[in-house]
Amino acid sequence: MDLLSLSFVLFLAVSLAAYYLVGRICSRVQWLVLLAASLAFYCLVGRWQTLAYMLACAAVTWAAPLALARMDARCKEERAAAPDRAARRAVKAAWARRRRAVLVAALLACFGILAYLKYWNVLLYEVGLAASPTSLGLLLPLGISFYTFQSVSYVVDAYNGRFEPQGNFLKHLLFVSWFPQVIQGPINRYADLGPQLLEGHSAKGVPVRRSLLRFGYGALKKYAIANMLVGTIDKIFSNVTPDIPGSVVVFGILLYSAQQYGDFSGGIDMVEAASSLFGVDMAENFRRPYFSVSLADFWRRWHITLGTWMRDYVFFPFAVSRPMRALGARASRLGEHLGRTLPACVANLLVFLIVGLWHGAEPHYVAWGLYNGVVIALADLLAPAFRRANAALRVDTGSRAHRVLCVARTFLVVNVGWYFDRIYDFGDSLLCLRNTLTNFAPQQFFLWLAQVGVRDSDLKFMVFTAVACAFVFVVSLLQENDVDVDGHILRWNCVVRGLFYSAVLGLIVITSFLTQNAAGGFMYANF
Amino acid sequence: METLVVLAVIVAVDALCSFALEQYGSLSSVMWSEYRAAAGESIDTVVVGSSTAQRAFDPAVLDATLGTTTFSMATPAQPLDDSYTAAKQAIEDHHVRRVILGVDYESLSNENWAGSHVAFARAKMDGESLSQAVADYWKLLVSPAFFGRADSLCALFPWGYNHVKLDPGSVVANVRERLSGDSTLEAAAVVNGGWTYYGNGYGNYDNVIDYSLARKDTSVAIHGLDDFKETCLDQVASIARLCREHGVQLVVVVTPRPAFNVLVYGEKYPEQMALLQQVTEQEGATFVDANLLHAETYSPQDADFGDGEHLNRDGATRFSQAFAGVLQALDAGQDVGTLSYSYDNWDQYLASIHQISAVVSRLDVDGGGSATVTAQTYTGTDVQVEYRFLLVDKDGGTTVLQDWSSSDSCDVPRGSHGTVMVCARQVGSASDYERYCVQELPH
């Protein structure tokens, strides 16, 4: 079921009608409609056979915090009954160990399922014990990484006492299975999403027109940009040979840059819009990432919820761990800046290694993750040198020109990273990088594209993608300058608005037609 | 109110775009309008299927031999579920006693193309009551091929699916044609340059295939090579069941094509076609692969084909005459399976090809810039082939790179420009070539 389809529209319409109808009768049970819709959606879109994995994940992450809460209560009782301070401390330490054991067991269970389903076969294949990365026939549940990470955040936050754990399993299951997030995120936090799902909503407060506008904007990115480019990118990078011209590689990578953004952020726009129709606002996942001024900034704007998840559950705990503190202390002997940043640099390397592995166990993903980690770590370490250089060269770092330069530099750095992400063989990634620098050969550009099967019509039809990209660029630029673009459009004269919507719909219709049978679902649906 | 105005503007723009961009005089609309015009006439046989069927069977030729009244409901790129719809309509309207389903490899291996569904449904809607038209279109939108996909919403803008070329000249011509008062049939003749209508739903072109372009003309080059889809085989079975339930004879015919376009599939062809034959015969229908008919039943000539997949008018006439003979044999209770080679004895078919159907070439350039042209002929297993490679410069001057020999590859001297002409003939032949192709060299 595509998000832009009659089946999804009907599914959404029936769910919304049921939700607001039940809300009129009894808003306290409104959430049950959301749960029913979410489970139905999971069975319709994913494979119903994999529902058990999500139920298992939900059961584990529901039970563990309740066990932790019970342990807290027992600990309190025992401490109250303890005769002296030493005994109280001993009781606390004993229960802390047990709590940690429960936490570790829950994390192992969640990540164990994820690791087995997502990585085991690839691992066996990489060491030559499986015929192919999918030869075991393991069914990868829809959105497994997203609901696993979300559920784990719930357990860790509950462990840290951030909220009272949810006692009702079905309510917790709704948090895990909320259907708009299950395809490709975002990774929501319980404190933000949980209450919204469970409280009653009335149709009156829903910003329907804004939601529809956002849905259309997402569909434009998905169909007019991502789907239009996927075929050409495939043709280019399925035919990497030692003499592939650098000009073709750069073209392919730039297309991938647009495709990746169009696919992921477009899909997120569509699901955010669908969720907001129920009065439920999910976490934002993109904030115009190609306007970032550094790679670190890029990761604060691209897949934001994964970035914050990594920051809260990997980076901070690791960076302030005892060994890292010790490393920082030792490094500070070589300089205050090094002592302060070195633990963060190591933590960044770990974070991006995990981000790489999260995308897949293949070497090219690991290389992509490490590339990002190394660049960010080096940028941190060398920050004083950059500052001194700027001062020596009298660079006005607050100027618009400097900002534009930083944006362009970051775009370049990000795109070098895409070499490792998109070219599925690590050796080919290096080869393409080398040819970009040493064999650009622009004169072979069209001949090579023709040889790999990119037709003239494919290139000609990219004019539609170019129009869509220009539109997205203008909207993004305005949003970057704090302009409420949606608000402006909604204030337009209704005839002008009708004509504008017709133009956007026309673009979606044409590109959808041109990409029939070529593009599948969302890239991140398999994560 | 504001929302209604916005919706009204969108609907108005959609209608305007449909008027300007939606193909007026599509072959689907010709078929349906002619079919409706024949409402009062007796039709006892219909041909359904895609363009290969549309251009293979001449109803007048069949009728002249068999004494039947045949109408062709085949339309370009007609998916099998639309063939079902067409057959069902003919059974309901005319109680036909025979349905001929013309298919080719791609009818069963390719995903349905939403554009042809829309064109078919829109053409069918044209002469229907509003309620029937809405019901028909809704049926299309909720059909399995559309319901879960963007097509189910985008097809509400049909101009996006069944449009003329998106250049000003084509759009203006389309609008002019609509406003001219020409009938669908007259418009079709204008829009489809070279196409002529011969009656009973049948029209065809007179063009003849250029065998030197075979490399681009193979279906594998155009559509790729996939196995038959289970859903497509199920759809054939559905058509067969529909016919059986109504006491209608179904003949599933794999339409003729040049031998190279059969050989290009390699072993896939007998393997996959055997599945189709099995499904067809299991459902009680008759199966005929026109490409495998013995030469005494049907032997196409080189000039019978318009391209790698379609017969031209003369070819369709010749094939229809031969096929009428097959149907006569069928009516006489003869086992028509004996008229052709079987997939189990594929080698016999390969040995039955006594000419070179086509030669194609490939260019390999290594890292150092050395180029090699390699030729491949499509021919029978017993045919001995020899090749000659000529360098043709921009002015048309030729230089022999490699004279007649059994070697199928030739190194191109560095710095050569222009094209390499690859000639192929049977050993012992004195002709300049039987088939040739041209290989472009890099600039």
CATH code where residue B92 lies: 3.40.50.1110
With 90 as the cut, is the pLDDT of residue B178 above it? no
Between chains, do A497 and B160 touch, taking CB under 8 Å as contact?
Answer: no
Is residue A41 a part of any domain in this protein?
Answer: no
pTM over 0.90: no
A29 and A96: one domain? no
Q: Where are the beta strands (DSSP E) in B230-355?
A: 249-254, 286-289
CA-nearest of A456, A234, A464 to B160 is: A464
A519 φ/ψ angles, rounded to the nearest 5 degrees:
-110, 140
pLDDT digits (tens, 9 = 90+) for B270-309: 999 999 999 999 999 999 999 999 999 999 999 999 999 9
A366 and A450: one domain? no
Domain count within chain A: 4
| More reliable by pLDDT, A129 or A319 | A319
Q: Select from A4, A495, A516 the Cβ nearest to the Cβ of B113.
A: A516
A81 and A171: one domain? yes
Closest-CA residue of B relative to A1 is B148
| Domain end marker among A369, A390, A422 | A422
A312 and A389: one domain? yes
Closest-CA residue of B relative to A513 is B161
Supply the pLDDT for residue B368.
67
Say whether the peptide bond before residue B258 is cis (omega within 30 degrees of 0).
no
Residue B386 is part of a domain; what is its CATH number?
Answer: 2.60.40.10
Q: Select from A506, A513, A517 the Cβ nearest to the Cβ of B111.
A: A517
DSSP conformation class of A86: H
Is residue A189 a part of any domain in this protein?
Answer: no
Q: What is the mean pLDDT of chain A?
A: 91
Q: Answer yes or no: are the C-beta atoms of B375 and B212 closer than 8 Å.
A: no
| Domain end marker among B348, B367, B383 | B348
E strand or H helix at A400, and its extent?
helix A400-422
Q: B416: left (phi > 0), else alpha (psi -120 to 50), else beta?
A: beta
List residues of chain B with CB under 8 Å from any CB of chain A: 2, 5-10, 13-14, 17, 111, 113-115, 141-142, 146-154, 157, 160-161, 166, 367, 442-443
Task: Write out chain B residues lying below 8 Å of A508, CB-based.
Answer: 150, 154
Average pLDDT (B310-332) is: 95
Q: Where are the alpha helices (DSSP H) in B39-78?
A: 51-54, 59-66
CA distance, residue B239 to nearest chain A CA (Å): 24
Tokens encoding A211: 């939601």
Supply the pLDDT for residue A486.
94
pLDDT digits (tens, 9 = 90+) for A15-47: 999 999 999 998 899 999 999 999 999 988 877
B272 and B124: one domain? yes
B266 and B363: one domain? no
A168 and A95: one domain? yes
Average pLDDT (B76-84) is: 92
Average pLDDT (B134-160) is: 90
The Cα B388–Cα B402 span in angstroms is 6
pLDDT digits (tens, 9 = 90+) for B1-36: 888 999 999 999 999 999 998 888 889 999 999 999
Q: Answer yes or no: are the C-beta atoms of A260 and A289 closer than 8 Å.
A: no
A277 and A172: one domain? no
pLDDT digits (tens, 9 = 90+) for A270-312: 999 999 999 999 999 999 999 999 999 999 999 999 999 999 9
pLDDT digits (tens, 9 = 90+) for B203-216: 999 999 999 988 88
As a whole-number percent, the residues of chain A with pLDDT over 90 amount to: 68
Strands B398-405 and B385-392: antiparallel
Between chains, do A495 and B9 touch, taking CB under 8 Å as contact?
Answer: yes
B270 and B291: one domain? yes
Confidence of residue A519 (pLDDT cuts 50, 70, 90): very low
Is residue A194 a part of any domain in this protein?
Answer: no
Residue pointed to by tokens 């319409």: A13
**Domain around A3:** 1-33
For Cα atoms A287, A289, A291, give the angle at the middle one, nearest 5 degrees.
Answer: 105
Is residue A430 a part of any domain in this protein?
Answer: no
B244 and B336: one domain? yes
Supply the pLDDT for residue A55.
93
A346 and A418: one domain? yes
B57 and B94: one domain? yes
The Cα A178–Cα A189 span in angstroms is 12
| Domain end marker among A360, A391, A422 | A422
Please compute, for residue A334, the number of CA atoms within 13 A of its CA located in the half-sphere on the CB side.
Answer: 10
Pick from A1, A3, A5, A514 the residue to mutate for testing the B interface (most B CBs within 10 Å). Answer: A5
A446 and A477: one domain? yes
Average pLDDT (B362-377) is: 83
Supply the pLDDT for residue A66.
95
The Cα A224–Cα A258 span in angstroms is 11
Is residue A199 a part of any domain in this protein?
Answer: no
Residue A488, classified by CB atoms within 10 Å of its CB into exposed (0-12), middle (13-18) or buried (19+), is exposed
| Domain end marker among A422, A452, A473 | A422
Residue A180, classified by CB atoms within 10 Å of its CB into exposed (0-12), middle (13-18) or buried (19+), is buried
Is residue B353 a part of any domain in this protein?
Answer: no
Is residue B421 a part of any domain in this protein?
Answer: yes
Sign of CA dihedral A454, A456, A457, A462: positive
CA-nearest of B256, B237, B240 to B248 is: B240
Is residue A72 a part of any domain in this protein?
Answer: yes
Task: Write out chain A residues lying below 8 Å of B152, CB-based.
Answer: 5-7
Supply the pLDDT for residue A70.
93
Q: Answer yes or no: are the C-beta atoms of A58 and A169 closer than 8 Å.
A: yes
Cβ neighbors of B253 (< 8 A, separation 6 or more) are: B53, B56, B100, B101, B102, B103, B288, B289, B290, B323
Range with lowest mean pLDDT among A73-82, B184-193, B252-261: B184-193
Is residue B210 a part of any domain in this protein?
Answer: yes
B253 and B294: one domain? yes
A396 and A301: one domain? yes
Is residue B30 a part of any domain in this protein?
Answer: yes
Q: What is the mean pLDDT of chain B?
A: 91
Sign of CA dihedral B298, B300, B304, B310: positive
| Rg (chain B; Cα; Å) | 24
pLDDT digits (tens, 9 = 90+) for A227-238: 999 999 999 999
Cβ neighbors of B9 (< 8 A, separation 6 or more) are: A494, A495, A497, A498, A499, A501, A502
List residues of chain A with CB under 8 Å from any CB of chain B: 1-2, 4-9, 223, 242-243, 443-444, 447, 494-495, 497-499, 501-502, 505-506, 508-510, 512-513, 516-517
The number of angstroms, rounded, from the C-alpha of B253 to the middle of its chain's C-alpha atoms is: 13
E strand or H helix at B402, and its extent?
strand B398-405
B162 and B118: one domain? yes
Tokens encoding B302: 């080189």
B63 and B95: one domain? yes
Residue pointed to by tokens 């048309």: B396
E strand or H helix at A401, and its extent?
helix A400-422
Domain count within chain B: 2
Task: Write out chain B residues lying below 8 Å of A506, CB-based.
Answer: 13, 17, 157, 160
B339 and B406: one domain? no
DSSP conformation class of B312: -
CA distance, residue B331 to nearest chain A CA (Å): 41
In whole angstroms, how far apart are CA B350 and each of B267, B347, B379, B429? 11, 5, 8, 21
Is residue B53 a part of any domain in this protein?
Answer: yes
The Cα A171–Cα A277 span in angstroms is 20
Cβ neighbors of B400 (< 8 A, separation 6 or more) are: B388, B389, B390, B391
Sign of CA dihedral A509, A515, A516, A522: negative
The Cα A98–Cα A71 span in angstroms is 8
Residue pointed to by tokens 């204008």: B190
B393 and B341: one domain? no
Confidence of residue B265 (pLDDT cuts 50, 70, 90): very high
Q: Answer yes or no: are the C-beta atoms of B126 and B26 closer than 8 Å.
A: no
A509 and A463: one domain? yes
ipTM of this predicted structure: 0.80
Sign of CA dihedral B218, B219, B223, B224: negative
With 90 as the cut, is the pLDDT of residue A167 above it? yes
Cβ neighbors of B237 (< 8 A, separation 6 or more) are: B279, B282, B283
Supply the pLDDT for residue A126.
78
Is residue A186 a part of any domain in this protein?
Answer: no
Is residue B320 a part of any domain in this protein?
Answer: yes
Residue pointed to by tokens 């990432």: A289
A16 and A51: one domain? no
Supply the pLDDT for residue A143.
83
The Cα B241–Cα B43 span in angstroms is 21
Q: Answer yes or no: are the C-beta atoms of B78 and B50 closer than 8 Å.
A: yes
Please compute, for residue B351, the number of CA atoms within 13 A of its CA located in the half-sphere on the CB side.
Answer: 6
A277 and A309: one domain? no
Supply the pLDDT for residue B144.
86
CA-nearest of B261, B186, B187, B177 to B219 is: B261
CA distance, residue B227 to nearest chain A CA (Å): 16
B165 and B247: one domain? yes
With 60 as the cut, is the pLDDT of residue B240 above it? yes
Sign of CA dihedral A271, A275, A276, A278: positive
Please compute, for residue B171, the number of CA atoms within 13 A of its CA located in the half-sphere on the CB side.
Answer: 10
Between chains, do A509 and B157 touch, taking CB under 8 Å as contact?
Answer: yes
pLDDT digits (tens, 9 = 90+) for A96-148: 999 999 999 999 999 998 888 888 888 888 788 888 877 777 777 888 889 99
| Domain end marker among B348, B378, B408 | B348
Q: Answer yes or no: are the C-beta atoms of B241 and B283 closer than 8 Å.
A: yes
Is residue B417 a part of any domain in this protein?
Answer: yes
| Domain end marker among B314, B329, B348 | B348
B321 and B408: one domain? no
**Domain around B225:** 2-348
